[in-house]
Structure 1
Amino acid sequence: MARKAGDSGQFEDSGDYVQSLSRGLAVLAAFDREHIRLSLAEIASRTDLSRAAARRLVLTLQHLGYVREIGREFMLGPRVLELGFGYLGSLNLTDLAQPLLEDLARRVNQSSSMAVLDGQSIVYVLRVPGRRVMSVTLGVGARLPAFCAAMGRVLLSGLDDGDFDRWLTQCKPVRHTPHTVTDLRALRRIVEDVSRQGYAYVEQELELGLCSIAVPLRNAQGRIATAINVSMPYHPDAARHAVDTILPQLQQTAAAIECCVPANRLPAAKP
Structure 2
Amino acid sequence: MLYVKAPAKINLTLDVLHKRPDGYHEVEMIMTTVDLADRVGLELREDTDILIHSTNNFVPDDQRNLAYQAAKLLQERFHVTKGVAITIDKQIPVAAGLAGGSSDAAATFKGLNELWELGLTIDELAELGAEIGSDVSFCVYGGTAIARGRGEKIEHISAPPSSWVILAKPSIGVSTAAVYGGLKLEDAKHPNTARMVEAIETNDYDKMCGTLSNVLESVTLQLHPEVSSIKEQMQRFGADGVLMSGSGPTVFALVQTEARTTRIVNGLKGFCDEVYAVRLLGDR
Q: State the TM-score, normalizing by the size of structure 1.
A: 0.28
Q: State the TM-score, normalizing by the size of structure 2.
A: 0.27
- Structure having the higher strand fraction is 2
- Structure having the higher helix fraction is 1
Which one has the largest radius of gyration?
1
Bigger relative contact order, structure 1 or 2, given CA contacts below 8 A and separation 6+? 2
